[in-house]
């Protein structure tokens, strides 16, 4: 609005100037004045128009991301440019992602203080994404007692990186007073800081919940079948230590195109393929793993691709991922409701929080047995 008002004022001035151009007294001066005002007007105009035509790059939705990666590396190279001043790109400082450098500014959940669950579901989510948190609380986040085990869900947030930060922060604190399930650390919450977020999650789990048997890092756009997850964990033979499982990705090529969302420099990671890693949408681990990962991260050069980074940490630790009993338990995405597939899977990527509520309601409602 401010620009608009400035713009109309300028218009009036410019037309007033146009009237004086013809007067004999100071034609040259008036002409220069008009030219100057026109230029000023033009530059004022280009700013708002520029914003409309060239919006700031916004992180791709995960759907686009997986769609692109499913299309093969050749097609997904022109994604986001990386922010030029980003420390992860400029330096190989391990410091950047070492979670000990950040502080929890919101951390009053009873989880692991007075509540000792069997499984912690920890969800990295942007501070402003209350819709996703709301949908999770109404669906799988509310499944707290399964097969005699206690399950608890918490959300991990960084500091908002845009918008009215004070207002957003106040909303976050109000939400937390209601649910006591938000944990907030003081790193800047942005797409390119996901590796920091994951390491902060590992740090929180290692320091707060070392006695819990299992945890899952699960993204906020996921469907989760908690019943099937608990069944898998309780199956005899499932490791109780040195265990990470999920949708495993093997021999994934490292993207070297600087424009790409997945660009990793040779300084950060030299090989042309990543070691096996579990796709970041959701992976499950025994609670001895977070401490190991935080410790080894001091020696593993950071890069943005958080799930591949965990893969490199695991390789450095000399620990293999455990394949899930069935690969189809971890579905990349499911944009059409499929009752039987949901009933048999552990997790799947969805499009929107509304879709999560829809699928959940349909699955819990009456329907054919699968
Ligand atoms: C969670 O489930 C209980 C019943 O099991 C229900 O009373 C409660 O309203 C649910 N909470 C939400 C946020 O949907
Ligand atoms: C990542 O977080 C750090 C610490 O808060 C911050 O200095 C940096 O600017 C953030 N990077 C991006 C791309 O947001």
Residue range 138-194, pLDDT digits in tens: 999 999 999 999 999 999 999 999 989 999 999 999 999 999 999 999 999 999 999
Label residue 368 by pLDDT band (50, 70, 90): confident
Tell which atom from ligand 1 comes closest to the C-alpha of 139. Answer: 14
pLDDT at 82: 38
User: Is the CB of 138 inside a 6 Å radius of any atom of ligand 1?
Assistant: yes
Mean pLDDT of the chain: 82
Segment 101-111 mean pLDDT: 95
Sign of CA dihedral 262, 267, 273, 278: negative
User: What pLDDT, on a 0 to 100 scale, did the predictor assign at position 70?
Assistant: 37
> What confidence tier does 97 reach under pLDDT thresholds 50, 70, 90?
confident
Strands 149-159 and 119-124 turn out to be parallel
Ligand lying closest to the C-alpha of residue 142: 1
The per-residue pLDDT for 34 is 62
Q: Does the C-beta of 161 come closer than 6 Å to ligand 2?
A: yes
Closest CA to 249 of 299, 193, 310: 310
Percent of the chain with pLDDT over 70: 74
- The answer, yes or no, to whether residue 64 has pLDDT greater than 90, is no
Residue with tokens 């959701």: 282
Cβ(35) – ligand 1 distance below 6 Å: no
The pLDDT, as a whole number, for residue 262 is: 87
- CB of 137 within 6 A of ligand 1: the answer is yes
The mean per-residue pLDDT over the stretch 2-18 comes to 35
CA of 208 to the centre of ligand 1 (A): 26
| Alpha-carbon separation of residue 84 from 109, 192, 259 (angstroms) | 37, 12, 11
Atom index in ligand 2 nearest the CA of residue 186 equals 5
Phi first, then psi, for residue 203 (nearest 5°) are: -65, -45
When pLDDT is cut at 50, 70 and 90, the band that residue 28 belongs to is low
Whole-number Å distance between alpha carbons of 232 and 227: 9
pLDDT at 51: 44
Q: What is the pLDDT of residue 68?
A: 37
Mutate to test the pocket of ligand 2, among 89, 190, 195, 263 (most ligand atoms within 8 A of CB): 190
Mean pLDDT of 110-128: 97
The number of the ligand 1 atom at minimal distance from the alpha carbon of 137 is 13
Nearest to 339 by CA among 313, 316, 368: 368
CA 231 to ligand 2 center in whole angstroms: 39
Nearest ligand by distance to the CA of 82: 2
Q: Which atom of ligand 2 is nearest to the CA of 189?
A: 14
pLDDT at residue number 96: 80
- Do you know the residue count of the chain? 370
């Amino acid at each position: 609005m401010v620009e608009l008002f400035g713009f109309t004022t300028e218009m009036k001035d410019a037309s007033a100037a146009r009237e004086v151009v013809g007067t004999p007294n100071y034609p040259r001066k008036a002409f220069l004045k008009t030219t100057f005002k026109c230029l000023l007007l033009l530059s004022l105009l280009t700013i708002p128009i520029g914003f409309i035509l060239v919006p700031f790059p916004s992180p791709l939705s995960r759907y686009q991301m997986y769609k692109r990666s499913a299309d093969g590396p050749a097609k997904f190279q022109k994604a986001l440019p990386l922010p030029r001043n980003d420390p992860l790109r400029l330096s190989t400082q391990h410091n950047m992602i070492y979670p000990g450098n950040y502080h929890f500014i919101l951390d009053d959940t009873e989880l692991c203080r007075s509540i000792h669950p069997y499984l912690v579901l920890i969800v990295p989510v942007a501070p402003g994404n209350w819709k996703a948190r709301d949908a999770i609380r109404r669906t799988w986040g509310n499944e707290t007692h399964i097969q005699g085990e206690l399950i608890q869900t918490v959300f991990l947030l960084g500091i908002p990186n845009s918008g009215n930060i004070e207002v957003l922060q106040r909303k976050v604190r109000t939400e937390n007073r209601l649910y006591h399930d938000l944990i907030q650390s003081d790193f800047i919450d942005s797409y390119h800081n996901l590796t920091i977020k994951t390491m902060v999650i590992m740090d929180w789990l290692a320091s707060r919940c070392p006695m819990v048997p299992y945890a899952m890092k699960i993204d906020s756009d996921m469907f989760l079948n908690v019943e099937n997850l608990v069944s898998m964990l309780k199956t005899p033979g499932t490791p109780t230590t040195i265990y990470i499982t999920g949708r495993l990705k093997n021999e994934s090529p490292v993207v070297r195109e600087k424009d790409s969302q997945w660009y990793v420099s040779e300084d950060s990671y030299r090989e042309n393929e990543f070691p096996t890693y579990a796709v970041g949408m959701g992976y499950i681990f025994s609670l001895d793993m977070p401490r190991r990962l935080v410790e080894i991260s001091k020696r593993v050069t950071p890069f943005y691709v958080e799930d591949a980074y965990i893969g490199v940490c695991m390789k450095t630790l000399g620990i293999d991922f455990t394949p899930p009993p069935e690969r189809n338990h971890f579905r990349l995405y499911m944009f059409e409701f499929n009752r039987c597939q949901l009933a048999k899977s552990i997790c799947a990527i969805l499009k929107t929080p509304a879709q999560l509520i829809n699928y959940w309601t349909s699955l819990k409602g009456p329907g054919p047995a699968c």
